[in-house]
Structure 1
Amino acid sequence: MERVPAVRRRRLGEELRRLRDLAGLTSGEAAKRAGWHQSKVSRIETGRSSVRPEDVATLLDVYAVRDRDLRELLATLAGRGYQRGWWHDFRDVLPVEYRDFITLETGACRARSMENSVVPGLLQTPAYARALTREVMPHLTEKEVEALVDVRIARQAVLHQDRPLELSAVLDESVLRRTVGGREVMADQLLHLEQAASLPQVHLQVLPFTAGGHQGLVNSFVIFSFPRTADLDVVVVDHLTSSLYVDRKEDIAAYGAAFARLAARALPRADSTDMITRIRKEVS
């Protein structure tokens, strides 16, 4: 499995190379203006070495990039905030892969999520998250479980910030019918989904059993998109014991097309909410 830092370095390098080309400079000319050796620019652009936010700022100055949002995004990809995010306080209980995931989620402007088994973390209630964590990771202590639940709920702040994350989620019907934590917990979770579906930043659809087999049955996945440029998109594919980070343009396009097909086969938003309500009444 390739970790986010490697993915982000390569994506950052590609974007910096694109900006250099737009500025009409060779890597040697860029290095000279930055006061560096040409090999440093090459290592940064190929993602072979880490890069400090200060170095990114230097290159952006050389390329006359003044867009504040783009500068902020590229500084984040270089590592600013990676070690100092709120989740750093939970580093003793969070696997490094989970921290990587939160880093992407926090910096994204849009997420397209296909879930075939459980409610997406951004839409879980504390009771559902607690029951799910206990069942999936029975070896954890109660303190560790509560810490992970706290993290799960803290993540949801991205949906309510000044510039909220736009979440498009397609849920297989099995997500709604799997009674996690008992009937009362599940009924509350379904009610929470109904309420979340009314938020303008949340586009929630249900893929009913009547849709038959579909690509989402193979793996759940999330496509993260970032401000200003689609070239920085990353796909996270869930596996049993880890997650795979995909950033090749061809693969991202394939996952994007798959999500579009799944959304087209899913129920419209209003009908999806109606189904959630019907199932909640059955559970209650």
Structure 2
Amino acid sequence: MQHGPAVRRRKLGAELRALRTLAGLTSGQAARLVGWHQSKVSRIETGRSGVKPADVRLLLDAYDVRDPELHELLVLLAGSDDDGRQGWWHAYRRLLPSTYSDFISLESQAGVMRTLENSVVPGLLQTREYARAVTRAAVGAAPDGGTDALVEELVKVRLARQDVLRSNKPLRLSAVLDEAVLRRTVGGPEVMARQLERLREAAHLPHVRLQVLPFGAGAHIGVTGSFVIFSFPNRSDLDVVVLDHLTSSLYLEQKEALRSYEEAFDSLQGQALSPEDTLDFIAGAADGA
């Protein structure tokens, strides 16, 4: 059984290999220190094999890694322990697709999230009613349909995700929203009015930067699709881009791809309204202007 998506396995393996090298150990020496066969260390470092969090802790101790934040990040990348230590989303494991669980785990540990959204308000900024309307539409589009109970459970997950903006070290969120996000009436006029007010409230948070890309900007590099860039504290080599599709998510980890999306996001921020003008624009949208 493999723990975590392929992108996380490769990133975790590369980081463990770098830490082993920094400790001055060969893979054989590392294996002997933790009582494994050398092939297991090699499979982990190349991402060909999953690794449990308990095993990551063994390796980090063997490499004398004492940075608690690095410990926490690499253990999280490994996935769930068999001894019950999991992220809060593990309680919903039967409900959530593995790609969604992976997304939440990355979101919960990232230091910065940059996102372009062309269609709907980002999940971290949605009201309960707006989230319910979006989720009902998404579940209804699924081949096997959905029930009200399922929708409500998924809404709970979406709202729980928002805790990353309220923690002691909150996620720093930069979001560029196409004007269509504000103009699309999701859930009806009253639901949309409350959602626009929520956006204005969020825009005043010191760790949230919100910008609107108006229709007047014309065609832009983001028209091909929404995306998210996750960045981690002091570990740029763990950054990842996530592209969502109807039935799956694509994780991009290559440096060239990351650079392209980072440059695209910078370009979009340059074309978008300033955060101050964005507040006025949202107010105008709420008034029907």
Does TM, scored on the shorter chain, surpass 0.5? yes
Q: Deviations over 1:224-276 (max 9, x none)?
A: 11223111111110123221111122211211111111111111110111101
1:56 is matched with which residue?
Answer: 56
What SS does structure 2 have at the residue aligned with 1:137? helix
Instruction: State the alpha-carbon separation in 2 of the partners of residues 253 and 220 from structure 1.
Output: 16
Offset, 1:91: 2.9
The structure 1 residue matched to 2:89, chosen from 87, 90, 94, is: 87
* 1:27 is aligned to 2:30: no
1:265 is matched with which residue?
Answer: 271
Does the CA-based 8 Å contact 1:105-1:224 persist in structure 2? Answer: yes
Does the CA-based 8 Å contact 1:69-1:228 persist in structure 2? Answer: no
What is the letter of the counterpart of residue 74 of structure 2?
A: L
Offset, 1:94: 2.1
Instruction: State the alpha-carbon separation in 2 of the partners of residues 62 and 92 from structure 1.
Output: 35
Does the CA-based 8 Å contact 1:219-1:239 persist in structure 2? Answer: no
Structure 2 CA distance for partners of 1:140 and 1:85, relative to 1, 3 Å = same
The structure 1 residue matched to 2:162, chosen from 153, 156, 166, is: 156
Offset, 1:84: 2.8
Instruction: State the alpha-carbon separation in 2 of the partners of residues 50 and 4 from structure 1.
Output: 7
Q: Deviations over 1:21-44 (max 9, x none)?
A: 222332223223333322221111
TM-score (norm. length: structure 1): 0.93
Structure 2 CA distance for partners of 1:93 and 1:57, relative to 1, 3 Å = closer
Q: Deviations over 1:11-61 (max 9, x none)?
A: 000111111222233222322333332222111110111112232222222
The structure 1 residue matched to 2:153, chosen from 131, 147, 156, is: 147
* Structure of higher RCO (CA pairs closer than 8 Å, 6+ residues apart): 1
* 1:192 is aligned to 2:198: yes
What is the letter of the counterpart of residue 240 of structure 1?
A: L
CA RMSD of aligned residues (A): 1.8
Does the CA-based 8 Å contact 1:70-1:228 persist in structure 2? Answer: no
Does the CA-based 8 Å contact 2:136-2:151 persist in structure 1? Answer: yes
TM-score (norm. length: structure 2): 0.91
Q: Deviations over 1:139-187 (max 9, x none)?
A: 3211111111111111101100111111111101110111111111111
What SS does structure 2 have at the residue aligned with 1:282? coil
2:209 is matched with which residue?
Answer: 203
Instruction: State the alpha-carbon separation in 2 of the partners of residues 254 and 177 from structure 1.
Output: 29
**What stretches of structure 2 of length at least 5 have no aligned partner?**
none
Instruction: State how many pairs are aligned.
Output: 281
What is the letter of the counterpart of residue 20 of structure 1?
A: R
Structure 2 CA distance for partners of 1:248 and 1:198, relative to 1, 3 Å = same
More moved, 181-190 vs 83-92: 83-92
Offset, 1:83: 7.5
2:105 is matched with which residue?
Answer: 103
What SS does structure 2 have at the residue aligned with 1:205? strand
Describe how 1:213-228 pairs up with structure 2 within 5 A. Answer: 213-228=219-234
1:73 is matched with which residue?
Answer: 73
Instruction: State the alpha-carbon separation in 1 of the partners of residues 132 and 72 from structure 2.
Output: 35
**What stretches of structure 1 of length at least 5 have no aligned partner?**
none
Does the CA-based 8 Å contact 1:4-1:100 persist in structure 2? Answer: yes
2:116 is matched with which residue?
Answer: 114
Offset, 1:4: 4.8
Offset, 1:200: 0.8
